[in-house]
């Protein structure tokens, strides 16, 4: 267990800069998840921490020690790879013991450690098998076991579940969460799957084009995205963005125009906006609902029914396709004209530069945000 600290970390591949000055403090025992679209540099950042890539500029500390120049082994990290990276000619036991054999650990000690770890991960009956005789989930457990036996300061996971099928992914996700709770180890986890990020993370780091967009707890990112990128990236289906303008500044928030002439008062602080400014209104599909008196109208283009819920894809008066998520079934048909209820307390407003106006009301964030923080924002 250790702290990991990044100070102004840059990485260049040739003349291409892929990491643009990342600052990050990872606390002891924390589960940190890096998310972002492909090519955003999340895996590179992990490999920089691992020591598999050289840091071009900046400082990396593990437990207050500067480790820029240290080898992966000296950093005392363990890594679990997307492709498992098991030695194909070695048995499960040998795979787990291989990294231990050279450190001054006795044969009995190695055997004991591997046996214990195998017990935790339910690998004991498989110890003599070769990787190719194992299923994907079992292989990934061996890869995790290989990391555990080394008793590292930091666990690094590079998209460990993306090669597994959906059902197995859920199961392994739960196992990893359990493992983190039991071992209370510092873990850094890279994924492009936001469900994994939301469910596993203590804090999520959203990366975009080599820069940190926002760091925060899953619900913080969901409820208080600092910009349109984070708002669009966190949450599924994606948040709807509606082109709009500020109609008036009110005590309760900012009144913004909706397509088709209606308005809504979004519960946000009017920081740096004035009446008439062009803004973007963000509203999540699960917060929109069909209602006869709604301020926004549109035509249903496509309906997706999932049984427990349904999605309506609605073309609004500006020609933007808006996603609406509803519970259960719907009686609507393609081509129906409907009105949508837009709850102002759940709206996000983004300035022209895509930064978010601070949200004032936190009823749905619950205990995560202290009351005084909310009052400061108004």
Partner 1 sequence: MTLALSASGAGKKSAHKSKLTSDRIRSAWLFLSPMLITLAVVAGWPLLRTIWLGFTDANLSDLSRTTFIGLENYYVTFDGEAYGLLVDPDWWNAVWNTIWFTVVSVGLETIFGMFIALVLNAEFRGRGFVRAAVLIPWAIPTVVSAQMWGWMLHDQFGVLNEILLTIGLISQPIAWTADPDTAMWAVIMVDVWKTTPFMALLILAGLQMLPGDIYEAARVDGVHPVRVFFKVTLPLIKPALMVAIIFRALDALRIFDLIYVLTSNSADTMSMSVYARQQLVDFQEVGYGSAAATLLFLIVAVMTTITLMAGNVKLSEGPQS
Q: 275, 284, 198, 211: which is closest to 244 by C-alpha?
A: 275
Rounded-to-integer distance, Cα 267 and Cα 12, Å? 42
For position 108 contacting partner 1 by CB under 8 A, the verdict is no
For position 106 contacting partner 1 by CB under 8 A, the verdict is no
For position 365 contacting partner 1 by CB under 8 A, the verdict is no
CB of 48 to partner 1, least distance (A): 13
Q: How many residues bind partner 1 (CB under 8 A)?
A: 27
Among 1, 52, 219, 247, binds partner 1 (CB under 8 A): 52
- Report how far apart the first and last C-alpha atoms of the chain are (Å, whole number): 40
Among 21, 29, 99, 262, binds partner 1 (CB under 8 A): 99
- Stretch of 76-84, 108-116, 237-245, 246-254 lying at the interface with partner 1 (CB under 8 A): 76-84
- C-beta separation of 142 from 96 below 8 A: yes
Site string for partner 1, 143-162 (x = CB under 8 A): ---x---x------------
Q: How far is CA 139 from CA 123, 134, 144, 149, in A?
A: 10, 6, 9, 15
- Stretch of 96-104, 115-123, 204-212, 274-282 lying at the interface with partner 1 (CB under 8 A): 96-104
For position 50 contacting partner 1 by CB under 8 A, the verdict is yes
152 bridge partner residues = none
Tokens standing for residue 28: 């002891």
Q: What is the largest CA-CA distance in the chain?
A: 77
CB of 96 to partner 1, least distance (A): 10
Among 7, 17, 27, 73, binds partner 1 (CB under 8 A): 73
- Stretch of 20-28, 98-106, 241-249, 278-286 lying at the interface with partner 1 (CB under 8 A): 98-106
For position 164 contacting partner 1 by CB under 8 A, the verdict is no
For position 105 contacting partner 1 by CB under 8 A, the verdict is no
- C-beta separation of 17 from 210 below 8 A: yes
Q: 216, 246, 79: which is closest to 158 by C-alpha?
A: 79
For position 237 contacting partner 1 by CB under 8 A, the verdict is no
- Stretch of 66-74, 179-187, 306-314, 358-366 lying at the interface with partner 1 (CB under 8 A): 66-74
Q: Is 63 helix (H, G, I), strand (E, B) or coil?
A: coil
- Stretch of 77-85, 175-183, 218-226, 245-253 lying at the interface with partner 1 (CB under 8 A): 77-85
- C-beta separation of 258 from 295 below 8 A: yes
For position 13 contacting partner 1 by CB under 8 A, the verdict is no
For position 81 contacting partner 1 by CB under 8 A, the verdict is yes
CB of 20 to partner 1, least distance (A): 24
CB of 15 to partner 1, least distance (A): 16
- Stretch of 38-46, 89-97, 118-126, 229-237 lying at the interface with partner 1 (CB under 8 A): 89-97
Q: 110, 115, 153, 11: which is closest to 68 by C-alpha?
A: 11
Cβ neighbours, 10 Å, residue 116: 14
Tokens standing for residue 236: 């599924």
Q: 234, 211, 265, 228: which is closest to 352 by C-alpha?
A: 228
Rounded-to-integer distance, Cα 68 and Cα 11, Å? 12
**Interacting residues toward partner 1 by CB under 8 A:** 50-52, 71-74, 77-79, 81, 83-90, 94, 98-99, 102-103, 130, 146, 150
């Amino acid at each position: 267990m250790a702290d990991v600290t990044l100070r102004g970390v840059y990485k260049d591949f040739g003349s291409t800069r892929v990491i643009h000055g990342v600052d990050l403090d990872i606390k002891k025992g924390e589960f940190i998840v890096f998310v972002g679209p492909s090519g955003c540099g999340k895996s590179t950042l992990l490999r920089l921490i691992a020591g598999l890539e050289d840091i071009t500029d900046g400082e990396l500390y593990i437990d207050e020690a500067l480790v820029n120049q240290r080898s992966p082994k000296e950093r005392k990290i363990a890594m679990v790879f997307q492709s498992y990276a098991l030695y194909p000619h070695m048995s499960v036991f040998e795979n787990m013991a291989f990294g231990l054999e050279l450190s001054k650990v006795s044969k009995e000690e190695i055997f004991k450690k591997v046996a214990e770890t195998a017990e935790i991960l339910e690998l004991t009956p498989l110890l003599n098998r070769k990787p190719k005789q194992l299923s994907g989930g079992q292989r990934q457990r061996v890869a995790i076991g290989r990391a555990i036996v080394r008793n590292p300061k930091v666990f690094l996971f590079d998209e460990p579940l993306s090669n597994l099928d959906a059902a197995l992914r859920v199961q392994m996700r739960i196992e990893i969460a359990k493992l983190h709770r039991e071992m209370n180890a510092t873990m850094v986890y890279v994924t492009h799957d936001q469900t994994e990020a939301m469910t596993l993370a203590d804090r999520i780091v959203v990366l975009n084009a080599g820069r940190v967009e926002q760091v925060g707890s899953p619900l913080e990112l969901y409820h208080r995205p600092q910009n349109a990128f984070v708002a669009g990236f966190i949450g599924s289906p994606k948040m709807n963005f509606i082109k709009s303008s500020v109609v008036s500044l009110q005590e309760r928030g900012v009144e913004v125009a909706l397509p088709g002439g209606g308005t809504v008062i979004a519960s946000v602080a009017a920081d740096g906006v004035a009446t008439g400014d062009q803004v973007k209104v963000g509203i999540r599909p699960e917060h929109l609902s069909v209602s006869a008196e709604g301020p926004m109208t549109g035509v249903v283009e496509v309906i997706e029914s999932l049984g427990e819920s349904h999605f309506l894809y609605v073309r609004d008066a500006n020609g933007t396709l808006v996603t609406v998520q509803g519970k259960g079934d719907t009686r609507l048909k393609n081509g129906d004209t409907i009105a949508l209820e837009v709850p102002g307390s759940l709206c996000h407003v983004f300035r022209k530069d895509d930064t978010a106006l601070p949200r004032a009301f936190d009823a749905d964030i619950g205990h995560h945000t202290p009351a005084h923080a909310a009052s400061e924002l108004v």
